[in-house]
Amino acid sequence: MSSRTIPVRFWLNGLPVERAVPPERILLDLIRDEIRLTGTKRGCDLGTCGCCTVLLDGVPVLSCLTLALRADGKSVTTIEGIGEPGRLHPVQSAFVECGATQCGFCTPGFVLTAVALLREHPHPDRETIVRAISGNLCRCTGYTKIVQAIERAAEAAP
């Protein structure tokens, strides 16, 4: 097996990671099962729910459909990389205050999608928000409070 592995170096939430992975290793599996950062959720494994969203060089992608070696030389941000110790990111605070979490399983994906959205569009209109989150599935909230939370986070932004 070892001859099949490929060295991969990337930044994970600001810290360097070096691994040797077989080519078929999926980024989600590397993050969850090997590195054991479990905030990134496995909802469907087929790109149809968005629970496994991570930021790859700041862009939200589906980690269940990304080969780990694609992270080589890049920066990967998972939900654990959002916010500061003792201080939630404004998107996270807004999700808490608005009750945008229910079961919470889709929440990390939504938060990452929203963080990336607000970096690109600090003051998005509702339609832009709805389009941006249209790859993340939520079964609990009807999206209403998620949209509200993103609007509130945008209002809080300078």
Partner 1 sequence: MSPATASGSPYRLLGGRIPYVEGPLKVTGRAEYTDDIHRSGTLVGRVLRSPWAHARIRSIDTTEARSLPGVAAVLTGEAYPTPFGVLPITHDETMLAVGKVRYIGDMIAAVAAVDEPTAERALAMIRIDVEPLPEFSDPRTGLTRVPEPIHERGLLGSNIQKQVLQHFGDVDAAFARAGATVRVRGQFAGVTHAFTEPLVTIAEATPDGRLTVWSATQVPHYLHRTLHEVLGIPMHRIRVIKPEVGGGFGGKSDPLPHELACAALSLATGRPVKMLFDREEVFYTNHGRHPTQNDVRIAAEADGTLLAYDIDTIIEGGAWSSFGTVTTYYNGVLAMGPYRVPNFRYRGRRVYTNKPPSGAMRAHGGTNIRYAVEVGLDELAEQLSIDPFDLRERNALPPHSTTVNQFRITSTSFRACLRAVRERSGWASKFRRLPYGRGIGLGCGFYISGSNSPIHFTPKMPQCTVHLKADMDGGIAVHCMQADIGQGSNTLMAAIVAEVLGVDLERVHVQRVDSDVSPIDLGSYSSRVTFMMGNAARRAAEGMRRQLVEAAAALLGYPAEQLEVVHERIQVRHRPEVGVDFMGALNRAMEAGGALQSSGAYSSPPMGGTFKGARAGTAPAYSFAAYVAEVDVDPETGVYRPTHVWAAFDCGRPLNRLAVEGQIEGSIHMGLGQLMGESMEYRGSRLMNPSLLDYKIPMPGQMPEIEVLLVGEDDPEGPFGAKEAGEGPLVAILPAVANALYDAVGVRCHAVPITPDRLLKGIDVRRSAGRPWKGE
Partner 2 sequence: MHLDAFELHRPESLAETVSLARTWAGQADYLAGGTDLLPNYKMHLNLKPHLIALDRVPELGGLSLDRFGATATLGALERFPGLASAYPGVADAVAEVATPLVRATATVGGNLLVETRCFFFNQSHFWRQSLGYCLKADGDRCHVVPQKERCYATFSGDLAPALMVLDAEVEIAGPSGVRRIPLSDLYDRDGDGIRRLAWAPGELLVAVHLPPTARQYRASYLKLRIRPSFDFPELGVAVAARIDGDRWDDLRLAVGGLESYPRRFDELTAPLAGERWSEERLRQLATAVSAAVRPVRNTSLAPDYRKRMAGVYVRRAIDRMRRRVD
CA dist., res. 30 & res. 115, Å (int): 23
Indicate which of partner 2, partner 1, none lies near residue 22 (CB less than 5 to 8 Å, by partner kind).
Answer: partner 2
Place of tokens 């409070």: 145
Residues between 107 and 126 that touch partner 1 (CB under 8 A): 107-108, 111
Long-range pairs of 34-39 with CB within 8 A, sequence gap ≥ 24: 37/12, 37/13, 37/78, 37/80, 39/78, 39/79, 39/80, 39/108
**Of 134, 155, 156, 157, the one binding partner 2 by CB under 8 A:** 134
CB-based burial label for 29 (10 Å; 0-12, 13-18, 19+): middle
Stretch touching partner 2 by CB under 8 A, among 7-15, 39-47, 79-87, 97-105:
39-47
**Of 30, 49, 55, 116, the one binding partner 1 by CB under 8 A:** 49
Which residues lie near partner 1 (CB under 8 A)?
36-46, 48-49, 51, 78-80, 82-83, 88, 91-92, 95-99, 101-108, 111, 130-131, 133-134, 137-147
